[in-house]
Amino acid sequence: LSSWVDVRLAMLLFKVVYTAEGASSVNKVATLLLSALSANVHYIEAWDLLFTHIALTTLSNDILIARAHSLFRPVAPTYPKTFEKLLAGLATIYKCEPGSGPLSFLLSEIDDISPTCDISMRVQMKIAISPCLRANYSGSNAVRGFEHELLGLAWNECIPKAMGGRSPANLALGDMPMQEAALKELMEVLFGNA
């Protein structure tokens, strides 16, 4: 219980100091909050606060961002939506240039966290890192960043097969509601509203 209270107090202090002093003191209160979170990594509201400040670029200290990542990473599979916020922040704060930058790191994080068959989770996480994907895949090449997920959703397969390996029987498989929603959202992201 005391670790929960410590995180709660550190989070409230973060909010009060940020409101009063702005971004100038964010590193100090973020250090305090991360220290408290190291004793209780399951306080998701505090992680959401930190990851929001990373995405807003008010928290841009590389050491603190790395520490936040290393503390949260072991519990990321338990809290995928919160991890998605971290990925979005990383994709925003670090410059993604074609052929370099954090894109390969972000994609490997998505591969490690999201199960192969949870394509809707993978789609959501990739949409979260869209600034990096846009920097590396422009125009019609944007589809290449989502090729695996598009094929998996379209054919209702965890691992898309070669075109010759499909049969009409595959089309009889019903889509799950999450797959349908993910395919619709992905199509809107890639091609706009119909």
pLDDT digits (tens, 9 = 90+) for 31-66: 999 999 999 999 999 999 999 999 999 999 999 999
CA angle 153, 155, 159 (to 5 degrees): 75
Task: Give the CA dihedral 17, 58, 88, 140, nearest 10 degrees.
Answer: 160
Specify the residue for token string 């009409």: 168
What single-letter DSSP state applies at residue 139?
Answer: G
Distance in angstroms (rounded) separating the CA atoms of residues 144 and 137: 7
- Let me know: does 130 contact 91? Beta carbons within 8 Å: yes
Token pair recorded at residue 52: 């929001």
pLDDT of residue 134: 80
Share of residues in the chain with pLDDT > 70 (%): 85
pLDDT greater than 90 at residue 172: no
Residue that wins the pLDDT comparison between 161 and 143: 143
- Let me know: does 88 contact 57? Beta carbons within 8 Å: no
Residues 143-148: what's their mean pLDDT? 78
Token pair recorded at residue 151: 């094929």
Give strand ranges (E) for the chain: none
Nearest-CA neighbor of 88 among 62, 117, 110? 110
Q: Which helix (H) or strand (E) holds 69?
A: helix 62-72
Residues 127-154: what's their mean pLDDT? 79
Sequence-separated (6 or more) residues with CB below 8 Å from residue 93: 54, 55, 57, 60, 65
> How many angstroms separate the Cα of 188 from the Cα of each of 19, 122, 145, 183, 184?
37, 16, 15, 9, 6
pLDDT of residue 72: 97
Specify the residue for token string 């009060």: 16
